[in-house]
Protein backbone atom coordinates (compact mmCIF):
# COMPACT_ATOMS: atom_id res chain seq x y z
CA UNK A 1 0.00 0.00 0.00
CA UNK A 2 1.39 3.38 -1.01
CA UNK A 3 1.95 6.05 1.63
CA UNK A 4 -0.47 8.92 1.49
CA UNK A 5 0.92 12.21 0.12
CA UNK A 6 -0.60 15.48 1.31
CA UNK A 7 0.11 19.07 0.19
CA UNK A 8 0.03 21.65 2.94
CA UNK A 9 0.27 25.42 2.84
CA UNK A 10 3.12 27.29 4.54
CA UNK A 11 2.64 31.04 4.08
CA UNK A 12 2.53 31.59 0.32
CA UNK A 13 4.14 28.21 -0.53
CA UNK A 14 3.03 24.58 -0.52
CA UNK A 15 4.80 21.80 1.35
CA UNK A 16 4.33 18.07 0.72
CA UNK A 17 4.27 15.71 3.66
CA UNK A 18 4.35 11.91 3.75
CA UNK A 19 2.33 9.84 6.14
CA UNK A 20 1.22 12.48 8.68
CA UNK A 21 -1.02 15.46 7.91
CA UNK A 22 1.08 18.61 8.41
CA UNK A 23 -0.76 21.89 7.94
CA UNK A 24 0.82 25.21 8.83
CA UNK A 25 0.69 28.94 8.20
CA UNK A 26 2.74 32.00 9.15
CA UNK A 27 1.51 35.58 9.59
CA UNK A 28 2.97 38.79 11.02
CA UNK A 29 0.45 41.00 12.82
CA UNK A 30 -0.07 43.60 15.55
CA UNK A 31 -1.11 42.69 19.06
CA UNK A 32 -4.11 45.04 19.06
CA UNK A 33 -5.48 43.65 22.33
CA UNK A 34 -2.88 45.75 24.15
CA UNK A 35 -2.32 49.29 22.93
CA UNK A 36 0.33 51.61 24.28
CA UNK A 37 0.23 55.40 24.31
CA UNK A 38 -0.16 56.84 20.84
CA UNK A 39 -1.84 53.73 19.43
CA UNK A 40 1.38 51.71 19.32
CA UNK A 41 1.23 47.89 19.48
CA UNK A 42 3.69 45.01 19.67
CA UNK A 43 4.54 43.36 16.35
CA UNK A 44 4.07 39.60 16.59
CA UNK A 45 4.61 36.55 14.43
CA UNK A 46 1.86 33.93 14.51
CA UNK A 47 2.45 30.32 13.52
CA UNK A 48 -0.35 27.77 13.20
CA UNK A 49 0.53 24.07 13.02
CA UNK A 50 -2.30 21.55 12.73
CA UNK A 51 -4.78 24.19 13.98
CA UNK A 52 -2.72 24.88 17.09
CA UNK A 53 -1.24 28.37 17.18
CA UNK A 54 1.49 30.27 18.98
CA UNK A 55 2.45 33.95 18.95
CA UNK A 56 5.44 35.87 20.20
CA UNK A 57 6.76 39.40 19.90
CA UNK A 58 9.44 40.31 17.37
CA UNK A 59 10.84 42.81 19.88
CA UNK A 60 9.48 46.11 18.57
CA UNK A 61 6.24 48.14 18.36
CA UNK A 62 4.57 50.07 15.56
CA UNK A 63 1.61 52.52 15.22
CA UNK A 64 -1.65 50.92 14.07
CA UNK A 65 -2.27 53.61 11.46
CA UNK A 66 1.04 52.81 9.77
CA UNK A 67 0.65 49.03 9.63
CA UNK A 68 -0.08 47.10 6.41
CA UNK A 69 -2.24 44.26 7.73
CA UNK A 70 -2.43 42.44 4.39
CA UNK A 71 1.31 42.37 3.71
CA UNK A 72 2.35 42.20 7.37
CA UNK A 73 4.79 45.12 7.04
CA UNK A 74 5.46 48.52 8.58
CA UNK A 75 4.37 51.43 6.41
CA UNK A 76 6.68 54.48 6.49
CA UNK A 77 5.47 57.27 8.78
CA UNK A 78 7.25 59.91 6.73
CA UNK A 79 9.58 60.17 3.74
CA UNK A 80 12.80 58.13 4.11
CA UNK A 81 11.61 56.39 7.30
CA UNK A 82 14.70 54.23 7.91
CA UNK A 83 13.24 52.65 11.05
CA UNK A 84 10.35 51.22 9.00
CA UNK A 85 12.85 49.76 6.54
CA UNK A 86 14.91 48.25 9.37
CA UNK A 87 11.86 46.66 11.01
CA UNK A 88 10.67 45.25 7.68
CA UNK A 89 14.08 43.66 7.27
CA UNK A 90 13.63 42.03 10.70
CA UNK A 91 10.18 40.79 9.68
CA UNK A 92 11.54 39.20 6.50
CA UNK A 93 14.32 37.54 8.48
CA UNK A 94 11.85 36.10 11.04
CA UNK A 95 9.42 34.82 8.39
CA UNK A 96 12.28 33.35 6.37
CA UNK A 97 13.62 31.62 9.44
CA UNK A 98 10.19 30.15 10.26
CA UNK A 99 9.78 28.85 6.71
CA UNK A 100 13.25 27.31 6.83
CA UNK A 101 12.30 25.35 9.95
CA UNK A 102 9.12 24.06 8.32
CA UNK A 103 11.06 23.15 5.20
CA UNK A 104 13.69 21.31 7.26
CA UNK A 105 11.02 19.16 8.92
CA UNK A 106 9.41 18.47 5.57
CA UNK A 107 12.53 17.17 3.83
CA UNK A 108 13.49 15.05 6.85
CA UNK A 109 9.93 13.57 7.08
CA UNK A 110 9.53 14.56 10.72
CA UNK A 111 6.35 15.65 12.46
CA UNK A 112 6.34 19.17 13.90
CA UNK A 113 4.32 20.53 16.84
CA UNK A 114 3.90 24.10 18.06
CA UNK A 115 6.04 23.54 21.14
CA UNK A 116 8.80 21.94 19.10
CA UNK A 117 8.61 24.77 16.57
CA UNK A 118 9.04 27.43 19.29
CA UNK A 119 12.08 25.61 20.62
CA UNK A 120 13.58 25.28 17.15
CA UNK A 121 12.89 28.93 16.32
CA UNK A 122 14.82 30.11 19.37
CA UNK A 123 17.80 27.79 19.06
CA UNK A 124 17.96 25.74 15.86
CA UNK A 125 19.70 28.24 13.59
CA UNK A 126 21.90 29.56 16.38
CA UNK A 127 24.04 26.47 15.81
CA UNK A 128 25.46 28.07 12.67
CA UNK A 129 24.05 31.57 12.15
CA UNK A 130 25.83 34.41 13.95
CA UNK A 131 23.12 36.90 12.95
CA UNK A 132 20.41 34.80 14.61
CA UNK A 133 22.59 34.20 17.66
CA UNK A 134 23.20 37.94 18.08
CA UNK A 135 19.52 38.84 17.61
CA UNK A 136 18.39 36.34 20.23
CA UNK A 137 21.09 37.40 22.67
CA UNK A 138 20.01 41.04 22.40
CA UNK A 139 16.39 40.12 23.18
CA UNK A 140 17.44 37.92 26.11
CA UNK A 141 19.47 40.82 27.57
CA UNK A 142 16.75 43.41 26.99
CA UNK A 143 15.72 43.67 30.64
CA UNK A 144 19.29 44.20 31.86
CA UNK A 145 20.14 46.86 29.24
CA UNK A 146 18.96 50.43 29.54
CA UNK A 147 16.73 51.56 26.63
CA UNK A 148 19.48 53.56 24.93
CA UNK A 149 21.97 50.67 25.02
CA UNK A 150 19.30 48.23 23.82
CA UNK A 151 18.53 50.46 20.82
CA UNK A 152 22.25 50.81 20.04
CA UNK A 153 22.70 47.03 20.09
CA UNK A 154 19.68 46.51 17.85
CA UNK A 155 20.95 49.19 15.46
CA UNK A 156 24.30 47.38 15.21
CA UNK A 157 22.49 44.08 14.60
CA UNK A 158 20.43 45.66 11.80
CA UNK A 159 23.64 47.00 10.23
CA UNK A 160 25.21 43.55 10.31
CA UNK A 161 22.08 42.07 8.71
CA UNK A 162 22.23 44.73 6.02
CA UNK A 163 25.87 43.86 5.39
CA UNK A 164 25.79 40.05 5.69
CA UNK A 165 22.21 38.81 6.38
CA UNK A 166 23.35 35.16 6.41
CA UNK A 167 26.61 35.59 8.33
CA UNK A 168 27.58 32.19 9.77
CA UNK A 169 29.76 31.41 12.77
CA UNK A 170 32.21 29.63 10.47
CA UNK A 171 32.58 32.80 8.35
CA UNK A 172 33.96 34.88 11.23
CA UNK A 173 37.68 35.41 10.54
CA UNK A 174 40.41 37.90 11.41
CA UNK A 175 39.51 39.83 8.27
CA UNK A 176 35.81 40.20 9.19
CA UNK A 177 36.25 43.46 11.20
CA UNK A 178 38.10 45.06 8.27
CA UNK A 179 35.36 44.01 5.84
CA UNK A 180 32.66 45.35 8.18
CA UNK A 181 34.67 48.56 8.61
CA UNK A 182 34.78 49.08 4.82
CA UNK A 183 31.01 48.59 4.63
CA UNK A 184 30.37 51.12 7.42
CA UNK A 185 32.67 53.76 5.95
CA UNK A 186 30.60 53.72 2.77
CA UNK A 187 27.62 54.92 4.84
CA UNK A 188 29.09 57.04 7.66
CA UNK A 189 31.69 59.78 7.95
CA UNK A 190 31.50 60.04 11.75
CA UNK A 191 34.25 57.76 13.02
CA UNK A 192 32.68 57.49 16.49
CA UNK A 193 29.49 56.02 14.99
CA UNK A 194 31.56 53.42 13.17
CA UNK A 195 33.46 52.53 16.35
CA UNK A 196 30.17 52.15 18.24
CA UNK A 197 28.94 49.49 15.78
CA UNK A 198 32.28 47.67 15.97
CA UNK A 199 32.18 47.52 19.77
CA UNK A 200 28.69 46.02 19.80
CA UNK A 201 29.77 43.47 17.16
CA UNK A 202 32.76 42.56 19.33
CA UNK A 203 30.54 42.15 22.41
CA UNK A 204 28.49 39.39 20.79
CA UNK A 205 31.46 37.69 19.17
CA UNK A 206 32.96 37.42 22.67
CA UNK A 207 29.61 36.17 23.98
CA UNK A 208 29.59 33.41 21.33
CA UNK A 209 33.09 32.38 22.42
CA UNK A 210 31.98 32.40 26.05
CA UNK A 211 29.07 30.06 25.25
CA UNK A 212 31.34 27.52 23.61
CA UNK A 213 31.05 28.29 19.89
CA UNK A 214 34.17 27.55 17.87
CA UNK A 215 34.73 31.19 16.90
CA UNK A 216 38.10 32.99 16.77
CA UNK A 217 38.68 36.21 18.68
CA UNK A 218 38.34 38.26 15.50
CA UNK A 219 38.78 41.67 17.13
CA UNK A 220 42.09 40.83 18.77
CA UNK A 221 44.60 43.25 17.28
CA UNK A 222 41.95 45.37 15.56
CA UNK A 223 42.47 49.03 16.48
CA UNK A 224 39.63 51.44 17.11
CA UNK A 225 40.31 55.02 16.01
CA UNK A 226 37.65 57.07 17.78
CA UNK A 227 38.00 60.82 18.18
CA UNK A 228 37.25 62.79 21.36
CA UNK A 229 34.06 64.82 21.49
CA UNK A 230 34.53 68.49 20.70
CA UNK A 231 31.22 69.76 22.09
CA UNK A 232 31.39 72.99 24.08
CA UNK A 233 29.16 74.77 26.53
CA UNK A 234 27.24 77.91 25.63
CA UNK A 235 28.43 81.23 26.95
CA UNK A 236 25.98 83.21 29.09
CA UNK A 237 25.43 85.61 26.20
CA UNK A 238 24.57 82.68 23.91
CA UNK A 239 22.18 81.29 26.53
CA UNK A 240 20.40 84.65 26.64
CA UNK A 241 20.07 84.69 22.83
CA UNK A 242 18.59 81.17 22.80
CA UNK A 243 16.05 82.12 25.49
CA UNK A 244 15.08 85.31 23.62
CA UNK A 245 14.58 83.28 20.44
CA UNK A 246 12.32 80.83 22.30
CA UNK A 247 10.16 83.66 23.65
CA UNK A 248 9.71 85.12 20.15
CA UNK A 249 9.41 81.83 18.21
CA UNK A 250 5.98 80.93 16.81
CA UNK A 251 6.90 77.63 15.10
CA UNK A 252 5.58 74.93 17.46
CA UNK A 253 8.07 72.23 16.39
CA UNK A 254 10.98 74.55 17.16
CA UNK A 255 9.39 75.62 20.46
CA UNK A 256 9.00 71.97 21.51
CA UNK A 257 12.64 71.19 20.72
CA UNK A 258 13.79 74.31 22.56
CA UNK A 259 11.60 73.49 25.59
CA UNK A 260 13.40 70.17 25.88
CA UNK A 261 16.76 71.90 25.44
CA UNK A 262 16.00 74.57 28.08
CA UNK A 263 14.66 71.90 30.45
CA UNK A 264 18.01 70.08 30.16
CA UNK A 265 19.92 73.33 30.62
CA UNK A 266 18.06 74.13 33.85
CA UNK A 267 17.89 70.61 35.34
CA UNK A 268 20.99 68.91 33.79
CA UNK A 269 18.69 66.02 32.76
CA UNK A 270 20.12 63.53 30.24
CA UNK A 271 18.30 62.93 26.96
CA UNK A 272 17.58 59.32 28.04
CA UNK A 273 15.70 60.65 31.08
CA UNK A 274 13.95 63.44 29.18
CA UNK A 275 12.31 60.75 27.04
CA UNK A 276 10.89 59.18 30.25
CA UNK A 277 9.54 62.31 31.97
CA UNK A 278 6.10 61.85 33.53
CA UNK A 279 3.81 64.45 35.06
CA UNK A 280 4.27 63.00 38.58
CA UNK A 281 8.05 63.63 38.52
CA UNK A 282 7.42 67.24 39.56
CA UNK A 283 5.25 67.47 42.67
CA UNK A 284 5.01 70.42 45.08
CA UNK A 285 7.89 72.14 43.33
CA UNK A 286 10.32 69.22 43.72
CA UNK A 287 11.74 67.13 40.89
CA UNK A 288 12.19 63.50 41.97
CA UNK A 289 13.28 60.68 39.66
CA UNK A 290 15.75 57.81 39.27
CA UNK A 291 18.18 58.41 36.34
CA UNK A 292 18.19 55.62 33.78
CA UNK A 293 21.98 55.55 33.57
CA UNK A 294 22.52 55.00 37.30
CA UNK A 295 19.36 53.01 38.00
CA UNK A 296 21.33 49.94 39.09
CA UNK A 297 23.06 51.99 41.79
CA UNK A 298 19.66 53.17 43.05
CA UNK A 299 20.66 56.84 42.85
CA UNK A 300 17.69 59.21 43.25
CA UNK A 301 17.62 62.82 42.07
CA UNK A 302 15.63 64.95 44.50
CA UNK A 303 15.91 68.67 43.85
CA UNK A 304 13.98 71.92 43.70
CA UNK A 305 14.48 73.11 40.11
CA UNK A 306 14.64 76.80 39.12
CA UNK A 307 11.31 78.57 38.66
CA UNK A 308 11.97 78.88 34.92
CA UNK A 309 12.31 75.09 34.71
CA UNK A 310 8.94 74.69 36.44
CA UNK A 311 7.44 77.11 33.90
CA UNK A 312 8.91 75.09 31.00
CA UNK A 313 7.57 71.86 32.56
CA UNK A 314 4.07 73.30 32.90
CA UNK A 315 4.11 74.56 29.30
CA UNK A 316 5.05 71.08 28.06
CA UNK A 317 2.39 69.55 30.34
CA UNK A 318 -0.26 71.85 28.89
CA UNK A 319 0.72 71.07 25.27
CA UNK A 320 0.99 67.27 25.68
CA UNK A 321 -1.56 66.66 28.41
CA UNK A 322 1.15 64.74 30.29
CA UNK A 323 1.47 62.10 27.53
CA UNK A 324 4.99 61.53 26.15
CA UNK A 325 6.38 64.73 27.55
CA UNK A 326 9.65 65.95 25.95
CA UNK A 327 9.74 62.82 23.73
CA UNK A 328 9.03 64.34 20.33
CA UNK A 329 10.57 64.85 17.93
CA UNK A 330 13.22 62.13 18.24
CA UNK A 331 16.80 63.02 19.19
CA UNK A 332 18.12 62.98 15.60
CA UNK A 333 15.40 65.29 14.29
CA UNK A 334 15.76 67.49 17.37
CA UNK A 335 19.50 67.88 16.78
CA UNK A 336 18.91 68.91 13.18
CA UNK A 337 16.44 71.59 14.34
CA UNK A 338 18.84 72.79 17.05
CA UNK A 339 21.63 73.03 14.46
CA UNK A 340 19.49 75.24 12.22
CA UNK A 341 18.53 77.45 15.16
CA UNK A 342 22.19 77.79 16.18
CA UNK A 343 23.15 78.79 12.64
CA UNK A 344 20.31 81.31 12.49
CA UNK A 345 21.44 82.90 15.77
CA UNK A 346 25.08 82.74 14.58
CA UNK A 347 26.19 81.03 17.79
CA UNK A 348 29.85 80.14 18.16
CA UNK A 349 28.83 76.89 19.87
CA UNK A 350 27.10 74.01 18.11
CA UNK A 351 23.66 73.30 19.57
CA UNK A 352 22.93 69.62 20.30
CA UNK A 353 20.78 67.74 22.78
CA UNK A 354 23.85 67.42 25.07
CA UNK A 355 24.88 71.08 24.92
CA UNK A 356 22.21 72.06 27.45
CA UNK A 357 23.49 69.61 30.08
CA UNK A 358 27.11 70.64 29.49
CA UNK A 359 26.20 74.33 29.76
CA UNK A 360 24.33 73.61 32.99
CA UNK A 361 27.42 71.97 34.51
CA UNK A 362 29.70 74.80 33.38
CA UNK A 363 27.48 77.51 34.85
CA UNK A 364 27.18 75.67 38.19
CA UNK A 365 30.97 75.41 38.56
CA UNK A 366 31.57 78.94 37.30
CA UNK A 367 29.22 80.61 39.77
CA UNK A 368 29.59 78.25 42.74
CA UNK A 369 33.19 77.16 42.24
CA UNK A 370 32.18 73.77 43.70
CA UNK A 371 32.97 70.64 41.68
CA UNK A 372 31.21 68.42 44.21
CA UNK A 373 28.01 70.47 43.87
CA UNK A 374 28.24 70.01 40.11
CA UNK A 375 28.70 66.24 40.61
CA UNK A 376 25.49 65.96 42.64
CA UNK A 377 23.55 68.28 40.36
CA UNK A 378 24.57 66.29 37.28
CA UNK A 379 23.79 62.96 38.96
CA UNK A 380 27.28 61.52 38.44
CA UNK A 381 28.22 58.55 40.61
CA UNK A 382 31.95 59.28 40.24
CA UNK A 383 33.50 62.73 40.46
CA UNK A 384 36.04 61.73 37.79
CA UNK A 385 33.17 61.79 35.30
CA UNK A 386 32.41 65.36 36.36
CA UNK A 387 36.05 66.35 36.06
CA UNK A 388 36.05 65.20 32.42
CA UNK A 389 33.93 68.25 31.55
CA UNK A 390 35.87 71.27 30.30
CA UNK A 391 34.72 73.91 32.76
CA UNK A 392 37.38 76.48 31.92
CA UNK A 393 35.96 79.04 29.48
CA UNK A 394 38.02 81.52 27.44
CA UNK A 395 37.54 84.32 29.98
CA UNK A 396 39.04 82.21 32.79
CA UNK A 397 41.91 81.12 30.57
CA UNK A 398 42.71 84.76 29.80
CA UNK A 399 42.41 85.67 33.49
CA UNK A 400 44.90 82.90 34.35
CA UNK A 401 47.29 84.21 31.68
CA UNK A 402 47.02 87.74 33.13
CA UNK A 403 47.85 86.48 36.63
CA UNK A 404 50.95 84.69 35.31
CA UNK A 405 51.99 87.82 33.46
CA UNK A 406 51.72 89.88 36.65
CA UNK A 407 53.52 87.30 38.78
CA UNK A 408 56.27 86.28 36.39
CA UNK A 409 56.33 88.46 33.31
CA UNK A 410 56.75 91.75 35.18
CA UNK A 411 59.75 90.39 37.06
CA UNK A 412 61.33 89.15 33.83
CA UNK A 413 60.80 92.46 32.08
CA UNK A 414 62.45 94.53 34.83
CA UNK A 415 65.55 96.24 33.61
CA UNK A 416 68.78 95.37 35.31
CA UNK A 417 70.21 98.22 37.45
Stretch among 52-66, 102-116, 158-172, 367-381 having the lowest mean pLDDT: 367-381
The rounded distance, in Å, linking the Cα atoms of 233 and 296 is: 29
pLDDT at 360: 87
Mean pLDDT of the chain: 82
Q: For residue range 371-407, list pLDDT tens digits in order.
A: 787 777 777 777 777 776 655 555 655 665 565 556 5
Q: For residue range 135-184, list pLDDT tens digits in order.
A: 988 988 888 887 778 889 999 999 999 999 889 888 899 999 999 999 99
Pseudo-torsion of CA 141, 147, 153, 157, nearest 10°? 90
The rounded distance, in Å, linking the Cα atoms of 333 and 330 is: 6
Task: Single out the residue of 341, 319, 339, 337 nearest to residue 329, CA to CA.
Answer: 337
The pLDDT-based confidence of 127 (bands split at 50, 70, 90) is: low
| Cα→Cα distances 2→47, 363, 388, Å | 31, 86, 78
The reply to whether CATH 1.10.1750 applies to domain 132-227 is: no
Task: Single out the residue of 174, 367, 357 nearest to residue 261, CA to CA.
Answer: 357
Mean pLDDT of 95-108: 82
Task: Single out the residue of 29, 31, 104 nearest to residue 71, CA to CA.
Answer: 29
The reply to whether CATH 1.10.443.10 applies to domain 236-396 is: yes
Give the CB-side neighbour count of residue 73, counting CA atoms within 13 A: 12
**Which H or E run includes 116?**
helix 114-123
The rounded distance, in Å, linking the Cα atoms of 367 and 389 is: 16
Overall pTM > 0.85: no
**Which H or E run includes 302?**
strand 301-303
Domain ranges of the chain: 1-123, 132-227, 236-396
Looking at 259-409, which runs of residues are DSSP E strands?
282-283, 286-289, 301-303
Amino acid sequence: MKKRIRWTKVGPSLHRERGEVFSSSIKVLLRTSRKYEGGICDVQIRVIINREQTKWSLGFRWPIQYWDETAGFCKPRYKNDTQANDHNMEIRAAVGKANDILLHYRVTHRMLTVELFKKEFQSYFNRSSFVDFMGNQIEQRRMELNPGTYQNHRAAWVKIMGWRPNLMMTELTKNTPNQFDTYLRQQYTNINTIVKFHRVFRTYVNQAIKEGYNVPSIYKGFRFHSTPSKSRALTEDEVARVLDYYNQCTIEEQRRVLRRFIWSLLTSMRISDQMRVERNWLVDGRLVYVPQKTMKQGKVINMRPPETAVKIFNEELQITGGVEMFRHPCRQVGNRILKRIGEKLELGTKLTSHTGRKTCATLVVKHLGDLHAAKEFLGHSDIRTTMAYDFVDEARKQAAANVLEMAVGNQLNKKAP
